[in-house]
Structure 1
Amino acid sequence: MNNKMHATALRSDIDKALDILHAGGLILYPTDTIWGIGCDATNAEAVDKVYQLKGRAQSKSLIVLLDSENKLQSYVSEVPEVAYQLIEYTERPLTIVYSGAKNLAPNLLADDGSIGIRIVNHPFCTPLLQRFRKPIVSTSANISGQPAPRNFSEIAQEITNGVNYIAQYGQDDHTEGRPSIVMKLEAGGKFTFLRK
């Protein structure tokens, strides 16, 4: 596929995903780690659909994606300065759990009011987030308790049947994705690794 045709196909793919996100539906999409189930992170009803599809307890919070660290302050009460350095210097995708989440669907947050946020750099996710202008939920595309799919071909039919749109981009990429590093960052800048 030549570049111009590729760009048109990608734009059309993103347009369709955006329509679903705006309508409160669920998308299945590639991220900088593994394939994810996504929805508007500010829409509690959409978030509820994600929990139902995964069969996941609401006590287990989900993470959200943003396209730029400049947007963190819109969703976290106080962003510790060290967060920006961690994001800038990390080699692998990094999800940071911040306390004091705000402007997000309440059913996304952990019991202590924290939220995991990852800044993505990805050919599909980044333009999708830029155009949506809100954070998007990302949770592994599997039924809760089952192994996370390492690429599109491993996603269970229950999941593909349960979403409103499946991104075309990345379906034929068989590289094995890896989940992100997860760390919890306290307001004072102290951090602990939850997943390396």
Structure 2
Amino acid sequence: MRILAKEEINAEKNALIESILDGAVFIYPTDTIYGLGCNALKSEAVNKIRNLKERTKNPFSVIAPSKQWIYNNCILSEEATEWVEKLPGPYTLILKIKKNAVAKEVNPGLGTLGIRIPAHWFGSFVAELEVPIITTSVNKSGEDFMTSLEDLDEGIKSSVDFIVYEGEKKGKPSKIIDLGNKLKITER
């Protein structure tokens, strides 16, 4: 496991992109809190995150590589389109998705998916991947989420391929905007 700063991400960009596309599991910063992620099209990597979090059934959200990816992979109402246009930002939009937008292990049995584009430099890195990545808090289910390396669960730390670290984060998780059926906003 390696700990990388933003500058190192830029210097090793091509190798890291290849690693993520191949199924690396990693920790990264966002505009809210640190996320635990992988290529959302790689079933094996998604299952590894599910096991690390000890999370059996709950769906994961993704960071979309672009608004265009959302338009291509989601079924959007007029209201949903208005919310997509507000991205990037501290929102997770629950949207109806088309089949095969992500690995089936991301959102088992659901026709909706939580989607973000963070207002953070790491969102631009995801855009270069051109695939969605899992975005979930860095913790075992039911425990406090990571704010710094000091409170990172050792089991998770030893199981990830790399960590993109930019110091302590005191944010809170993104606001959930459920546009799957009827508008519902949830503060976390």
How far is 1:12 from its partner?
2.5
Segments of structure 1 that go 5 or more residues without pairing to the other structure are 1-5
Aligned-pair CA distance for 1:85? 2.3
Structure 1 equivalent of residue 114 of structure 2: 116
What is the rounded CA distance, in whole Å, between the counterparts of 1:62 and 1:25 in structure 2?
17
TM-score normalised according to structure 1 size: 0.82
Hey, what does 2:125 align to over in structure 1?
Answer: 128
Q: Is the 8 A contact 2:54 2:140 kept in 1?
A: yes
> What TM-score comes out, normalization by structure 2 length?
0.85
- In structure 2, the residue matched to 1:64 is 62
Cα deviations by residue, 1:19-70 (Å, 9 ceiling, x for unpaired): 321221201111221111110011111111110111111x200000014222
Count of aligned residue pairs for this structure pair: 183
* Partner Cα distance (1:158, 1:107) in 2: 22
Q: Corresponding residue for 2:183?
A: 191
1:95 maps onto 2:87 in alignment: no
The aligned amino acid for 1:84 is T
Q: CA RMSD in A?
A: 2.4
Distance 1:155 1:132, change over 3 A: same
Q: Write the mapping of 1:1-196 to structure 2, written as runs, cut at 5 A.
A: 9-12=8-11, 14-57=13-56, 59-76=57-74, 78-89=75-86, 93-102=90-99, 103-123=101-121, 125-167=122-164, 169-170=165-166, 172=167, 174-186=168-180, 190-196=182-188
Q: What residue identity is the alignment partner of 2:51?
A: Q
Task: Give a deviation string over 1:93-120, Cα, whole Å, max 9, x none.
Answer: 0001112343210011153321100122
Cα gap change, 1:131 to 1:33, in 2 (>3 Å): same
